[in-house]
Amino acid sequence: MSSNNNQAGFLAIELDGAGYWNLSAAVLAAESAGFHVATFKDAPAAGRVNALQRAAFAGPITRTIAVVPEVDTVYTEPFHISTQLASLDYVSGGRAGWIATAAESPEAAAAVGRAFVEGDVLAQEAAASIEVGRRLWDSWEDDAVIRDVATGRYIDVDKLHYVDFETPADFAGTPYSVKGPSIIPRPLQGQLPVLAAASLVGEGLVPVDAVDAVLVSAPTAELLAAEVRDVRARLGAAVAVVAELDVVLDSRGQDAAARLAASTESGRARFAGTAADLTELLDSLLQEADGVRVHPAEVDVDLEELSRLVLPELRRRGSLRAPIQDGSFRDVLGLGPADNRYSTSAAATAAGK
Amino acid sequence: MTRDIFQPSGQIQFGIFFQGVNSGTIWKADESGSQTDFESFRHIVQTAERGKFAAFFLGEGLRLREHLGRPHALDVVGRPDAQTMLAALAAVTRNIGLVATQNTTYNDPADLAHRLSSLDLISGGRAAWNVVTTDNAWTGANFRRGGYLDHADRYKHAEAFVETAKRIWDSWETATGPARHVRHEGQHYTVDVTPRLPRSAQYRPVLFQAGDSPEGRDFAARQADVIFSAHPKFDDAVEFRRDIVTRSVAAGRGANAVQIMPASEFILAATEQEAQEKKAWVRSLQIGPQQAIAYLEQFWGRELSSYDPDGPLPEIDPVVEETSETRGSGFHGAKARQLADQWRAEAKDKGLSIRGFVTSKTARIDSTFTGSYTAVADHLAEYARVGAVDGFNISPWLIPTGLDDIVNHLVPELQERGVYPTEYRGTTLRENLGLETPVRSEESVRVS
Ligand SMILES: Cc1cc2nc3c(=O)[nH]c(=O)nc-3n(C[C@H](O)[C@H](O)[C@H](O)COP(=O)(O)O)c2cc1C
């Protein structure tokens, strides 16, 4: 994926604030507003249900919007994560992705009885989990299910592969191995797009080629575009860059400043103001970034304004792409079909057979 | 004390067990659909809901079965993660219970409890956990902790696991908190967690248990709401009920506290004769010639492809002493040579070919109800009358249309006989099964 200067970008929306009770209304509203991606946060917090399951719930009731949960890589089992995400791809018709997070959390460690890790170890754990996940997704070739009545074979065993993953020799966490193959055929997209915070990716961290997109944060809205440029310069053109923005809009006769008081500090750049000013900001951000992820202060309130006033204008200006009906998340990110590292048919083709 | 005397409810319920693996599900018929497409799951769960089924079950297996050292090629294989699929199905259903089979060995209690409670909240109080105890080292190769659990420890471990989960679910005083801290320090793991989620509409997920050993039954009698049993035949079911009633009374619970839903398969038609013909067709597709040979190879530990599936059992001996465990726990540990002698004698005695013999041996045979809609309905009404079971967990042999004739023909017959629900009682699984609200589990910090 290359820098998209002057190309229309995409918009993602974080739907954590909708909770589980309002989930279908929120995701349907986001889809009809024209958002390309819905994301679901998953750090421990009172009242927050598992992000992957919220994404799965959203899958069958939508047609176009990608459903992308956060899933921790440090204190969760890579085999489970890989299967769950592949399953999410099936239930969403190929619209799943993964925001790989690395929990720096003593609580998360204590909950599963593991030693707390921090610093560089987090990126190593994340890199290992992503590698396991990706190998398992490839462990069934696309055409492994053959249903060959004549020979009685449901699968072609030559098209299933052990992944035989071992953590690298310099692995700072507890070493482990994963055998494979997966217990589910290759996901519909082949490989789900993997996203991670830009701070987790790069030299000595999660390798750039392990992810498809990075999430870029800056302390203020003014600094965000510059940070996007810096990250792109640092990581190269192969990953998509998504700018992170908190949004509080004037709405329902209350101005953003008043609503702002009630919302909490996130550390991300924040926009507070009118829909017209937000449109200008997003327009300029979409010139720099491939996409912007909006974190609404209150999902139902801000989503309504975004839907009525902001997205239509961005589309009119040509800075926002039209959603792709029945498209995959790979399509949203401009990724082609995913190669399979184990593919025997590819090897055969290469050998001129 | 009447609490100690079992009272039949006079009703039966159905659940569907979508297997996703093994030879029970036919893939060779023209009507056989995809085992992984979401549309297959949507079709079958919505059919079940139309038929007022209490629950939709998904199994779990965390390593592919192998055959002579490679993944097994002949049967249906490859299935989605249970809870991810059930969360998606929650969005396209309203009343049916959603049961995830999840083992207590390769999961973490706090993580699993959180995910199950998430499913429970997302579905409006319809989640359940079918507790299983996978303990083979072979599955462990896919997990960080490897094959760490001794066979003898698995139910001790499972019980500590389930109690920890219950304490996590019970920790919210009200719908909005506050939560208690839950700590467990055990031989195999430590959990120290502040639970995050409130009670669901059914208080906490319903617990099913599948496992048949005395330890498994005692565990179920202490902890479970429903047993997913392996005893569908009438006399056997009555005996199993008696055993479970005894165990649950001994565990200090009421005689009716634990419900029983055996695994089952239905082959139905308008007449007895058509049903028998259909059965022959189903069996021929379940156990084809290659499956018959492969089945014996599991026990012989060697390649037998030169043998004629329509001929007698191999005269050569198995090369292994203990049978392979890679095919599943049901096959584990039998003495291979002894078994081979026994089987040769049995097949000769009954005049069975390899294929005929294997067909007669495969597990589903014991759990099959074959016949006309009316005859089977009469038979099931008898189960309801004496309270032999509370319901049946049906494994359809065809995906996704395998429940259609059950819902269209058998269910109305049962409803006419007054032994099957005509409406869902409520929106939660607990209500629909007629289970009591659970007693809050013990609060104190416990160290074991
Ligand atoms: C009807 C039935 C269904 C089962 N389904 C599963 C399953 O889907 N996954 C699994 O790992 N084990 C499954 N089991 C296996 C049990 O969890 C258990 O490991 C096995 O029965 C051995 O336990 P036991 O010694 O108490 O019988 C099932 C068992 C029964 C009786």
Check pocket membership of B363 for ligand 1, CB cut-off 6 A. Answer: no
Q: Is the pLDDT reported for residue B331 higher than 60?
A: no
Query: Is residue B387 within 8 Å of residue B9, measured between CB atoms?
Result: yes
DSSP 3-state of B267: strand
Nearest residue on chain B to A83, judged by CA atoms?
B81
CB contact under 8 A, A179 and B63: yes
How confident is the model at residue B2, as a pLDDT?
72
How confident is the model at residue B444, as a pLDDT?
40
Q: Is the pLDDT reported for residue B447 higher than 50?
A: no
Torsion of CA B34, B36, B42, B48, to 10 degrees: 80
Q: Determine the straight-line distance between the first and last CA of chain B, rounded to whole angstroms.
A: 33
Binding-face residues of B in 98-127 toward A, CB within 8 A: 106-108, 110-111, 114-115, 117-119, 121-122
User: Picking from A324-328, B70-74, B98-102, B299-303, which range would have the lowest pLDDT averaged per residue?
Assistant: B299-303
Element (H, E) at B100: strand B97-103
Query: Is residue A176 within 8 Å of residue A131, measured between CB atoms?
Result: no
Residue B246: band (very low, low, confident or very high) from pLDDT cuts 50, 70, 90: very high
Query: Is residue B103 within 8 Å of residue B183, measured between CB atoms?
Result: no
pLDDT tens string B301-319: 889 999 999 999 999 988 8
DSSP 3-state of A244: strand
* Intervals of chain A under pLDDT 70: 1-6, 262-263, 345-353
CB contact under 8 A, A140 and B90: no
Binding-face residues of B in 282-341 toward A, CB within 8 A: 288-291
How confident is the model at residue A252, as a pLDDT?
83
B83 touches chain A (CB under 8 A): yes
A24 touches chain B (CB under 8 A): yes
Using a pLDDT cut of 70, give the percent of chain B over it.
Answer: 93
Binding-face residues of B in 24-63 toward A, CB within 8 A: 27-28, 32, 36-38, 42, 61-63
Which DSSP symbol is given to A269? E
Residue B41: band (very low, low, confident or very high) from pLDDT cuts 50, 70, 90: very high
Q: Pick the residue with more confidence: B70 or A330?
A: A330
User: Cβ contacts (< 8 Å) between A179 and chain B: which residues?
Assistant: 63, 141-142
User: Cβ contacts (< 8 Å) between A93 and chain B: which residues?
Assistant: 38
Question: How close does chain B come to A2, measured CA to CA in Å?
Answer: 33
pLDDT tens string B201-224: 999 999 999 989 999 999 999 999
Question: How close does chain A come to B75, measured CA to CA in Å?
Answer: 6
If you write DSSP's letter for every residue of A67-86 in order, what string do you get? EEEEEESSSS-HHHHHHHHH
Structure tokens at A97: 């992705």
Ligand 1 atom having least distance to the Cα of B219: 26
How confident is the model at residue A352, as a pLDDT?
46
Q: Pick the residue with more confidence: B176 or A297?
A: A297
Check pocket membership of B264 for ligand 1, CB cut-off 6 A. Answer: no
Distance B136 CA to ligand 1 centre (A): 12
pLDDT tens string A15-72: 999 999 999 999 999 999 999 999 999 998 999 999 999 999 999 999 999 999 999 9
pLDDT tens string B372-405: 999 999 999 999 999 999 999 999 999 999 999 9
A351 touches chain B (CB under 8 A): no
Contacts of B105 (CB under 8 A, 6+ apart): B133, B134, B135, B139, B140, B149, B154, B157
Structure tokens at A349: 């083709």
Check pocket membership of B195 for ligand 1, CB cut-off 6 A. Answer: no
d(C-alpha A159, C-alpha A320), whole Å: 41
Structure tokens at A109: 């460690």
Distance B102 CA to ligand 1 centre (A): 10
- Exposed, middle or buried by CB within 10 Å (0-12, 13-18, 19+), for B223? buried
CB contact under 8 A, A46 and B196: yes
Residue B364: band (very low, low, confident or very high) from pLDDT cuts 50, 70, 90: low
Binding-face residues of A in 48-67 toward B, CB within 8 A: 48-50, 52-54, 56-61
A32 touches chain B (CB under 8 A): no
User: Cβ contacts (< 8 Å) between A57 and chain B: which residues?
Assistant: 87-88, 90-91, 122
User: Cβ contacts (< 8 Å) between B291 and chain A: which residues?
Assistant: 152
Q: Is the pLDDT reported for residue B156 higher than 50?
A: yes
Mean pLDDT, all residues of chain B: 91
Binding-face residues of B in 178-217 toward A, CB within 8 A: 179, 189-194, 196-198
Check pocket membership of B19 for ligand 1, CB cut-off 6 A. Answer: no
Phi, psi of B282 (to 5 degrees): -60, -45
pTM: 0.95
A84 touches chain B (CB under 8 A): yes
User: Cβ contacts (< 8 Å) between B83 and chain A: which residues?
Assistant: 53, 84
